[in-house]
Structure 1
Amino acid sequence: MNFLIDKALASTPSKTKPDLLCRYVDDLIVVFSSQTLLQKFFKRLNAVYPSISFTQELELHNTIHYLDVLVTNTPNGIVTTTYRKPTHSGLYSKWDSFVPLHHKRNLVNCLIKRAYNISSSYKIMDQEFGTVKSMLASNGYPVTFLDGCVKGFLNRCHRPTPPSSPKRSETTHFVTMRLPFIGTTSYNIARELKGFVKRTILDVELRVIHKPTKIGSFFSIKDRPCNNLRCSVVYRLTCSCGSSYIGETQRNLITRIKEHRTNEKSEVCRHLQTNTMHRVNFTEPEILDATSKRIRLFILESLLIQQHAPGLNVDTTSMPLRLFNT
């Protein structure tokens, strides 16, 4: 990205270069004295590599947003405040959600810190704090909890820096343990574990992470696709004569099945052309196994071919299995 910008700036005369250019990853904010200079620089930027095309967004009513910042040009100077998309719903983790308390506190502190860093004046900061508290209150957060988080954050920002605590021993080892979050019992378990480690093991500090349980860990929240739409599977087609064919595909199974119907290179297709009275159930192929790894898919196919010995397979393996073959 820096290479593209440097090359565009190098071809721009010094008198027509942007007054301000800031970049974060692939987002740029630039300031020009006129629209003509802006459009010329925009064309130069897109001309560096034809395959890379930039888009532009111009200020509207003296305002423009850049990442999380809404920049407004006023007669008294530049004013910045927090930007929220038009689709922003104000929905955050509910207060009643079954997650550790420090997750909720960190959410509040994150939103407050963003408002504190972006706001260009204390008046705007106070308005942003009010907006944050209003949104979180609508998600069930107690007002006393929100006020305590705001007070604690401002105290940390403006109180004198406390004297540095004594450094830990260089031989101190940190051990992290992750436990499922089961409510207040988790805090008691963590406290007991930390105390036990501190009393019995020298130079070891235990850190306990509470992991909330997701609903998706109990059951799938998505509909399972039908077999014909699955990919990266090992399948078996069985003929009415008793012969079968085992193969693998990384595409949708229905695409591979169509090839078995019409492609004369397929052993199944040639078998049906030779034996016109035989029938293969193409609508319900049997899936023997599945994996997202390409090499594992080949290994599974080879193992299943050796296990079932299908009569229609010409190749007995898709990759060598030296561990099993002698």
Structure 2
Amino acid sequence: MTRPEFKSLITLAVKESFFLFDKIPYMQVDGVSMGSPLAPTLANIFLCHHEQQWLDNCPPEFKPLYFRRYVDDTFLVFNKLDHATLFLQYLNNQHPNIMFTMDGAVDGSLSFLDLNISLDHGTLSTEIFRKPTFSGLGISFFSHVPLNFKVNAITTLLHRAYHLSSSYISLSAELDFLRKFFSINGYPVHLFETQCKKFLSYIYRPKPVSFDVLRRKVYFSVPYYGRESERLYSSLSSSLSDLYPQFYFKFVPTNPFTIGSLFPYKDRVPDELRSKIIYQFSCESCNASYIGSTCQGMSVRVGQHRGISHRTNRPLATVMHSVPRDHAEEHNHPINTKNFTIINSSSNYDDLHILESLHIQRDKPNLINVRLYAVPLFITN
């Protein structure tokens, strides 16, 4: 791939961004498309490139002694306070779309990310910092999530407490806070104490390193329905490991019923633009029906079935095989866009074919389908 080709692909991926707002289509003309996986990486590359130039060209009179950045938060050290003000003005004159703000140390203490950094007699000390808006709420022990998620919530904060506390006094204070924090959120005291003891033993009494053959990790996304699901995951993992010892099987529980799924806030994409769908063709002249799936847009797939371009509404030069069109031509039944409806969708390619097979199995579309399944199903009644 040449550099111009690569640049063209990047431009297409991050700049040609269209979206709907109040049923009106818009094209984003400034910045990187929101939600794009490339956006954080490109933003970081952009800042890395420019900040190096800005630092190199910074007047030495107020150039920082120390400069570190994490995403959009920077930590700087200057000789004098007025140097910080001059440097802030200098940075804010470098790019019209970038504007920095500044917080200075108060009584020798400054918060940065999750840290509270203090300077005392030339020595820096760190402890956990929480914003004034911290509510004290975390994942409830009574939440409908796997137990290991709740245990991981404890070990994650223990890990942070240990590695971000520069003294045993700070660590002890943070452990006391976490003990109260998890108790408020419904966790049994013995669960926190057990995980705390386990974590500290791992830190201060590490086990000897054992050497074993590395196994390839295989992940499965599966629905979560409670403790029965956890027992099923454990049983499946054990059975599969016996059959395939060279693999490490990991089941990742998911729950599609999120708050976002119950309260959609984005404009619904019109059916003709939706992709990765299961659709049904119903003949308006008889009771014949057909079920199919496509990763293309609905209008594109319907146009292929009709033998007409979805862009120009003219006959296609190369017409692909279509069971609905064969039926329409054989029986002289009209075929229109209104004969096609979306009945399901999935963002996963494999799940799409499984869904198609399940719909064919359930609805039995009058034998228009050449195959009775998209993928083989093993279903017992």
State the TM-score, normalizing by the size of structure 2.
0.57
Question: Structure 2: which amino acid aligns with 1:178?
Answer: S
Once residues 298 and 269 of structure 2 are traced to their aligned partners in structure 1, the CA distance between those partners, rounded to angstroms, is: 7
Matched position secondary structure for 2:220: strand
Change (3 A) 1:299 1:82: same
Q: How does 1:1-326 map to 2 (within 5 A)?
A: 1-14=47-60, 16-75=62-121, 77-168=123-214, 172-201=215-244, 203-213=245-255, 215-216=257-258, 221-222=262-263, 232-233=269-270, 296=297, 299=300, 318-320=311-313, 322=316, 323=319
CA positional deviation for 1:48: 2.3
Partner of 1:309: none
8 Å Cα contact 1:302-1:319 kept in structure 2? no
Once residues 190 and 29 of structure 1 are traced to their aligned partners in structure 2, the CA distance between those partners, rounded to angstroms, is: 45
Matched position secondary structure for 1:81: strand
Partner of 2:344: none
Matched position secondary structure for 1:47: coil
CA positional deviation for 1:110: 0.8
Q: Deviations over 1:146-172 (max 9, x none)?
A: 01111111111111451322234xxx5
Question: Structure 2: which amino acid aligns with 1:184?
Answer: R
8 Å Cα contact 1:298-1:319 kept in structure 2? no
Once residues 157 and 230 of structure 2 are traced to their aligned partners in structure 1, the CA distance between those partners, rounded to angstroms, is: 25
Matched position secondary structure for 1:95: coil
Once residues 27 and 97 of structure 1 are traced to their aligned partners in structure 2, the CA distance between those partners, rounded to angstroms, is: 33
Q: Deviations over 1:50-91 (max 9, x none)?
A: 332222222233322111111223346322111112111111
CA positional deviation for 1:145: 0.6
Once residues 124 and 61 of structure 1 are traced to their aligned partners in structure 2, the CA distance between those partners, rounded to angstroms, is: 18
Change (3 A) 1:14 1:85: same
Change (3 A) 1:53 1:93: same
Q: Deviations over 1:169-217 (max 9, x none)?
A: xxx544333333333333432333233334334x432413241435449
8 Å Cα contact 1:100-1:210 kept in structure 2? no
8 Å Cα contact 1:62-1:72 kept in structure 2? yes
State the TM-score, normalizing by the size of structure 1.
0.65
Identity %, equivalent residues: 25
Name the count of aligned residue pairs.
253
Change (3 A) 1:75 1:200: closer
CA positional deviation for 1:36: 1.9
Once residues 209 and 7 of structure 1 are traced to their aligned partners in structure 2, the CA distance between those partners, rounded to angstroms, is: 47
8 Å Cα contact 1:298-1:318 kept in structure 2? no
CA positional deviation for 1:136: 1.1
CA positional deviation for 1:106: 0.6
Partner of 1:284: none
Question: How well do the aligned residues superpose, as a CA RMSD in angstroms?
Answer: 3.6
CA positional deviation for 1:35: 1.9
8 Å Cα contact 1:20-1:30 kept in structure 2? yes
